[in-house]
Amino acid sequence: MSYNWCHGPECHTKETQSRIRGSGRDKVLRTIRIKQGGSYRTHEQYQMFNYFCNQRCLMDFIRTHLTSIVAIAPRREALETPIKVEKAQLKDYYDNPYIRTRITKVDNA
Ligand SMILES: [Zn+2]
């Protein structure tokens, strides 16, 4: 089984029972160790939690390294998604008219 240490820059300073290590009176707060591919972490949506023990550590990492992270894939111009817009006049439960806007994405593939 392989493990990662949580990448949260402040992880080892959070005062929780699960971080306490050492024997006797002199102990340490240690970074959380994360088992790889455990349960839900195999799902693409949650793979970040193979590297961070919780959302706070993830956000601490992003705040600390934001400039470097954005530099990996800079966005220098806006992206656009082609759509079609249809407007329809409808009536609500009380017979008041309202306009519904319906957006349909255009498949250019
Ligand atoms: Zn952590």
Query: Is the distance from CB of 95 to CB of 43 less than 8 angstroms?
Result: no
Ligand 1 centroid distance, CA of 66 (Å): 17
pLDDT for 42: 74
Of the candidates 81, 83, 77, which has an alpha carbon nearest to the alpha carbon of residue 101? 83
**CB atoms < 10 A from the CB of 53, how many?**
22
Q: Which residues of the chain have pLDDT under 70?
A: 38-39, 109
Ligand 1 centroid distance, CA of 24 (Å): 24
pLDDT for 28: 97
Residue count (the chain): 109
Q: What phi and psi, each to the nearest 5 degrees, are found at residue 20?
A: -75, 125
